[in-house]
Amino acid sequence: MPSIRLKDVCVDLPIYNSSGRSLKSALLAQAVGGRVADDRDRSVVVISALNHVTLNLEHGSRVAIIGSNGAGKTTLLRVMAKIYPPTHGAVDVIGRISSLTDLNVGMDGEATGYENVRMRGILLGLTSPQISRLMDDVTEFTELGDYLKLPIRCYSQGMMLRLAFGISTAIQPEIILLDEIIGVGDQAFAARARERLHVLIDAASILVLATHDTNIITQLCSSAIWLSHGRVVDIGPPAEILERYAKNPTPG
Amino acid sequence: MLEASWRGLADVLAGLSSWRTWKMLAWNDVRRRYRRSGLGQFWLTLSMAATIGGLGLVYSRLFGVNVSTYLPYIAVTFVIWGVISTVVIDSCNALIENEQLLRHVSLPRSLFIYRVIARNLIIAAHNVLIIPIVFVWFGVGVNVNILWIVVGLILLAANAFWIGYFLSIMCARFRDVPQIVTSVMQVVFFITPVMYLPDQLARRGFAVIKWNPFANLLEVVRDPLLGSAPSAWALGSCAVMAVVGLAVVMPFAGRYAPRVVYWL
């Protein structure tokens, strides 16, 4: 059964300025023993993005992550997607993850639409027959027709989004990680995109959604995680959490 | 330490097993560079041929070496040196330039080094066409020693891998390393017998070639093509370097490769 388990997870993000990026400076700092180091010239600043987060998400979880900007929502999604290794604590994720955080990932502007579908397919680890099914599915859904034979740098933004969305949502994952619900293109297409996304979400075992949109939360989610300054403030039913969040978004 | 080594090894093997991904990325790299040009990938071959032809004619006179020995020699060394130096230099950016991919997909870091090596071998495969043409022109024969090239290429790939793997991680953290590496490779080019014959230097009793790891790497691939077996010294030192290098890079990668995503 798919599950996401985070035990006492901390993530410290180092932020480097140009001298923190330099091997020369690092070696010089070693040579002088750091005694002349000036606190005002800190070349590395560490931000604590997640602070002792413990979570257990099981099959059937529909979870919203809420919190103000910089509360750690995206960082938490990236930890779940195994992109950020935690600095402390343990992460155990079972199940095939699809992280719909950037639809354009791995696309090449010089390559044609078809080539991009194939490349994304290989990136997802699909076999040749699976890729040809992906190709049919994307062709039908995007309705791009002969445009798929052209390099995607010639595409309009709407066409680009259709293709990226079509590919990203063609494979059914067990765990879906979403950073804001994606709106796609013109009205008629947006409706079909919504429908396709909802089919994907319904069939998934676990959904984690970071968003500010209360309508979507009440519509899709059965519980909410409230983050503030990288800490979990509370977990509970969305209506209750949202009400308290509205009163004081950044406690502590 | 041991745990870090296992994690490093796991990353190296995970990268190998996703060979379809790096093969695809490598081919796409080559294609996209020449997508809008008529001759396509063969521009590479043409410019390499021009370099070898021009250098061969001028430097054979400059060094007072017979052009029919000198030109086949640099045809071989330039093609091999092209692989060695571009793999080392490209590896510096292997992780940095894939920031978008690394931030959104969980992929083994070693995959990007395999991609750099594969891409440069594809490019070399185009340049290799020059060698038989030069050989036929100057009547240079090939003998059974050419079979040593299998050993030579394995040694080259193993060493290129650990050097590239190490540099890619270092460069993600320290952004001045790519410039340092580029300058170092420039110097290495001059102390490695790419443009001159090794005995021109050896006759003067200068041992720099013997202790230059890049000269040894060049030799194990070059000599089989020129009809002689590589020296035991070159084969041995390349093998030792590969084993030691891989053994050192494993715990290093196990410790730091996962953190690369924080540095991008």
Flag whether residue B263 sits within 8 Å of chain A, measured between CB atoms: yes
Instruction: Please tell me which residue of chain B has the smallest CA distance to A20.
Output: B174
| Nearest CA among B203, B237, B244 for reference residue B220 | B237
Tokens 């320290």 -> residue: B174
**CA-to-CA separations, B35 to A140, B30, B44, B127, in angstroms, rounded:** 27, 9, 13, 18
pLDDT at A166 > cutoff 80: yes
Tokens 């930890």 -> residue: A79
CA angle, B8 as apex, B104 and A101 as ends, to 5°?
A: 5
pLDDT value at residue A200: 92
- Whether residues B105 and A22 touch (CB distance < 8 A) is answered with no
Number of domains into which chain B is organized? 1
For B74-129, the pLDDT digits (tens) are 999 999 999 999 999 999 999 999 998 998 888 999 999 999 999 999 999 989 99
pLDDT value at residue A183: 67
Mean pLDDT of chain A: 88
CATH superfamily entry for domain A113-204: P-loop containing nucleotide triphosphate hydrolases (3.40.50.300)
Average pLDDT over residues B192-208: 81
Chain B residues within an 8 Å CB radius of A119: 24-25, 28
User: Among the listed ranges A92-96, A121-125, B23-27, which one has the minimum average pLDDT value?
Assistant: A121-125
- Whether residues B32 and A108 touch (CB distance < 8 A) is answered with yes
Q: For testing the chain B interface, which of A46, A123, A154 should be mutated: the one with the most B CBs within 10 Å?
A: A123
Q: How confident is the model at residue A35 (pLDDT cuts 50, 70, 90)?
A: very low
By the 10 Å C-beta count (0-12 exposed, 13-18 middle, 19+ buried), B231 is classed as middle
Mean pLDDT of chain B: 92
Among A residues 131-170, those touching chain B with beta carbons less than 8 Å apart: 151
Average pLDDT over residues A197-205: 93
pLDDT at A36 > cutoff 50: no
Q: How confident is the model at residue A184 (pLDDT cuts 50, 70, 90)?
A: low
Quote the percentage of chain A above a pLDDT of 70: 92
ipTM: 0.86
- Whether residues B28 and A119 touch (CB distance < 8 A) is answered with yes
Flag whether residue A90 sits within 8 Å of chain B, measured between CB atoms: no
User: What range defines the domain where residue B192 resides?
Assistant: 2-31+38-263
Chain A residues within an 8 Å CB radius of B100: 102, 104-106
Fold of A3-95+210-247: Rossmann fold (3.40.50)
Tokens 């995206």 -> residue: A74
pLDDT value at residue B249: 96
- Amino acid at the residue B212: N
Chain A residues within an 8 Å CB radius of B27: none
**CA-to-CA separations, B115 to A6, A106, B109, B154, B161, in angstroms, rounded:** 33, 14, 10, 16, 10
pLDDT value at residue B41: 72
The 3-state secondary structure of A118-169 reads HHHHHHCCCCHHHHHHHHHHHHHHHCCHHHHHCEHHHCCHHHHHHHHHHHHC
Other Cβ atoms less than 10 A from the Cβ of B125: the count is 14
**Residue B201, helix vs strand vs coil:** helix
Cα B143 from Cα B137, distance rounded (Å): 17
pLDDT at A34 > cutoff 70: no
Residues near B190 by Cβ (< 8 Å), separated by ≥ 6?
A: none
Q: For testing the chain A interface, which of B105, B115, B260 should be mutated: the one with the most A CBs within 10 Å?
A: B105
A91 with A82: CB under 8 angstroms? Answer: yes
Flag whether residue B28 sits within 8 Å of chain A, measured between CB atoms: yes
Cα B71 from Cα B58, distance rounded (Å): 10
Domain with CATH 3.40.50.300 in chain A: 3-95+210-247, 113-204
Output the pTM of the full model. Answer: 0.91
Tokens 């519980």 -> residue: A223
The two tokens of residue A252 are: 């502590």
Cα B240 from Cα B236, distance rounded (Å): 6
Cα B45 from Cα A114, distance rounded (Å): 29
Cα B93 from Cα B253, distance rounded (Å): 16
pLDDT value at residue A42: 60
pLDDT at B151 > cutoff 60: yes
Residue A157 or residue B155, greater confidence: B155
Q: For testing the chain A interface, which of B19, B20, B181, B261 should be mutated: the one with the most A CBs within 10 Å?
A: B20
pLDDT value at residue A10: 94
Instruction: Please tell me which residue of chain A has the smallest CA distance to B27.
Output: A119
pLDDT value at residue A99: 84
pLDDT value at residue A39: 47
pLDDT value at residue B45: 87
For B227-238, the pLDDT digits (tens) are 999 999 999 999
pLDDT at A163 > cutoff 80: yes
Nearest to B104 among A102, A110, A118 (CB): A102
Q: Per-residue b/e over B31-57, b at no fewer than 16 CB within 10 Å?
A: bebeeeeeeebeebbeebbeebeebbe
pLDDT value at residue B1: 79
Other Cβ atoms less than 10 A from the Cβ of A58: the count is 12
Cα A101 from Cα A173, distance rounded (Å): 14
